[in-house]
């Protein structure tokens, strides 16, 4: 009965992958931990309307039940993204990685290891972490041995409409949360290998990821073209929150600029 209940909770339109075939510039959209493709769809439609080929799929374990997710690790999520990147790059001249939260961290990891292989031209992140907030995190190594799941708090979205759209499982597998922390620690050491242009978007009122992480990522990546944009009206899930229009516009401006002018190596920080 538990599996059936969660299958009903996750509406088909929320978990459905989407793909828009456009021009020679591609964009792989990657949702976050405990997230769904629906939170990236409006951004994907915006980019597709401007001639960009777009692909977004649910990460393994994220579109069925918490029990299914419990059987996955960050290696499964990363390898699925790499396969999607390979698929998109086979059809496009260049590909941009745009990731929300953990999806942003996965995007940076892909750029660090596969930029040349898969024609990665740039990375855009929305609230990408290298650390996580949470008073229970220090207890996780012990807690996961005695408890399989914890109740998920309300999604960190200021806009009520976006909060409803972002709702997914109501339980998080502690083994997966532990795997997420392993991913963050791993990628932190790989950021120096990111050399493609990056656009890092972050809310100053993020309750999931320390807002200071965006500046740490900015400092650690080796990209010569790297920009930070900070917002204040939204919380963590930027693509469906109050600043979503700015997110869409700045993402497209970055993709358009980098795709048509690879020589730009400006480094800047922008506050809005």
pLDDT digits (tens, 9 = 90+) for 106-122: 999 999 999 999 999 99
Alpha-carbon torsion 143, 146, 151, 152, what sign? positive
Instruction: Report d(CA 61, CA 177) in Å as an integer.
Output: 13
Residue-level pLDDT at 8? 45
The predicted-structure confidence for 122-131, as pLDDT tens digits, reads as follows 999 999 999 9
The pLDDT value given to residue 262: 54
272 falls within a domain: no
Q: Is the pLDDT of residue 181 over 80?
A: yes
Q: Check residue 135 and give its pLDDT.
A: 64
Does some domain include residue 121? yes
Is 267 among the domain residues? no
Q: Indicate whether 36 pLDDT > 50.
A: yes
In this predicted model, which residue has the larger pLDDT, 93 or 140?
93
Query: Domain total for the chain?
Result: 1
Is position 266 within any domain?
Answer: no
Does residue 263 have a pLDDT over 50?
no
Which distant-in-sequence residues (6+ apart) come within 8 Å of 27 by Cβ?
A: 44, 47, 52, 53, 54, 55, 88, 95, 96, 97, 98, 255
Lowest-confidence region among 53-62, 87-96, 165-174: 165-174
- Check whether 102 is labelled as a binding-site residue: yes
CB 144 within 8 A of CB 219: no
Given pLDDT bands bounded at 50, 70 and 90, which one contains residue 64? very high
Residue 270 lies in a domain: no
Mean residue pLDDT of the chain comes to: 91
* Residue percentage of the chain with pLDDT more than 70: 90
Rg (CA), the chain: 17
Would you say residue 269 lies in a domain?
Answer: no
Which of the residues are catalytic?
101, 206, 236
Whether 39 maps to a domain, the answer reads yes
> For residue 72, what are the domain limits?
2-257
Contact (Cβ atoms closer than 8 angstroms) between residue 176 and residue 73: yes
CATH number for the domain spanning 141: value is: 3.40.50.1820
d(C-alpha 51, C-alpha 267), whole Å: 27
Strand order in the sheet with 198-203: 18-20, 53-56, 25-30, 94-100, 120-126, 198-203, 226-231, 267-271
Statement: residue 60 has pLDDT above 80: yes
Q: What pLDDT is attached to residue 156?
A: 95
Q: How far apart are CA 40 and CA 240, in angstroms?
A: 8
Q: What's the pLDDT at 269? A: 42
CA distance 214 to 108: 12
Give the residues across from 56 on adjacent strands.
18
Residue 268 in any domain: the answer is no
Whether 132 has a binding-site annotation, put simply, is no
């Amino acid at each position: 009965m538990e599996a059936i209940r969660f299958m009903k909770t996750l509406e088909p339109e929320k978990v459905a992958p989407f793909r828009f075939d456009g021009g020679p510039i591609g964009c792989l959209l990657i949702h976050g931990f405990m997230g769904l493709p629906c939170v990236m769809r409006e951004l994907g439609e915006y980019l597709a309307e401007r001639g960009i080929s777009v692909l977004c799929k649910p990460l393994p374990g994220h579109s069925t039940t918490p029990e299914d997710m419990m059987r996955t690790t960050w290696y499964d999520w990363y390898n699925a993204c790499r396969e999607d990147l390979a698929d998109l790059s086979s059809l496009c001249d260049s590909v941009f990685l745009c990731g929300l939260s953990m999806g942003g961290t996965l995007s940076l990891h892909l750029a660090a290891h596969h930029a040349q292989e898969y024609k990665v031209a740039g990375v855009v992140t929305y609230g990408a972490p290298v650390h996580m907030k949470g008073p229970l995190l220090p207890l996780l190594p012990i807690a996961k041995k005695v408890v399989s799941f914890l109740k998920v708090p309300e999604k960190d979205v200021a806009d009520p409409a976006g909060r409803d759209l972002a709702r997914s499982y109501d339980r998080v597998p502690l083994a997966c949360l532990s795997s997420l922390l392993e991913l963050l620690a791993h990628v932190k050491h790989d950021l120096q290998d990111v050399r493609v242009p990056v656009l890092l978007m972050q809310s100053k009122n993020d309750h999931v990821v320390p807002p200071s992480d965006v500046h740490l990522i900015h400092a650690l990546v080796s990209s010569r073209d790297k920009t930070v944009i900070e917002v204040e009206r939204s919380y963590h899930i930027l693509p469906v929150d109050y600043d979503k229009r700015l997110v869409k516009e700045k993402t497209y401006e970055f993709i358009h600029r980098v795709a048509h002018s690879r020589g730009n190596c400006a480094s800047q920080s922008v506050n809005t």
